[in-house]
Amino acid sequence: MPDNFRRFEAGPDPFGRTWQVEFQWLQTGISIRHADTVDVKFYLWTQDEPKQEKVLALPHPSLLTLSRETGHALTDAWCLKLAGAHLKSIVESGEDLEKTLVTLSLEDLRRAAGILQPA
């Protein structure tokens, strides 16, 4: 798992490509989409693919539940790490890779939080 979720590599994807990932911004979805989410935007690109954007929407009620379950404070840095971990799994599995906006379920967030915990 990357130490720095602001800029990292993800992959390989199902086609063997490694993607460059760069964090762009984090903001509440209410301000841009009237959604009760924390939205985290990344740019992704490979040597053969043009730069594309991905916005991962982390539902606020699910974040509150996860925060209670894990005892982790709900912070911007934690949201960035959860989104980055999930984006890495998107690239590696190829699932939802074609989507620009991906809304995470509570189970997605739990998996991402599990990936972040030290082994």
- Domains delineated in the chain: 7-116 (3.30.160)
Nearest to 12 by CA among 41, 40, 47: 47
User: What pLDDT is attached to residue 1?
Assistant: 58
The residue type found at 81 is K
Q: Output the tens digit of pLDDT for each of the chain's 119 residues.
A: 567 889 999 999 999 999 999 999 999 888 777 889 999 999 999 998 899 999 999 999 999 999 999 999 999 999 999 999 999 999 999 999 999 999 999 999 999 999 776 54
Please report how many Cα atoms fall inside a 13 Å half-sphere around the Cα of residue 3, on the Cβ side: 0
Q: CA dist 48 to 4, 9, 24, 61, 95, Å?
A: 24, 15, 21, 38, 19
* Whether pTM exceeds 0.85: yes
Helices and strands (H, E) in the chain, number of each type: 4, 5
User: What pLDDT is attached to residue 119?
Assistant: 41
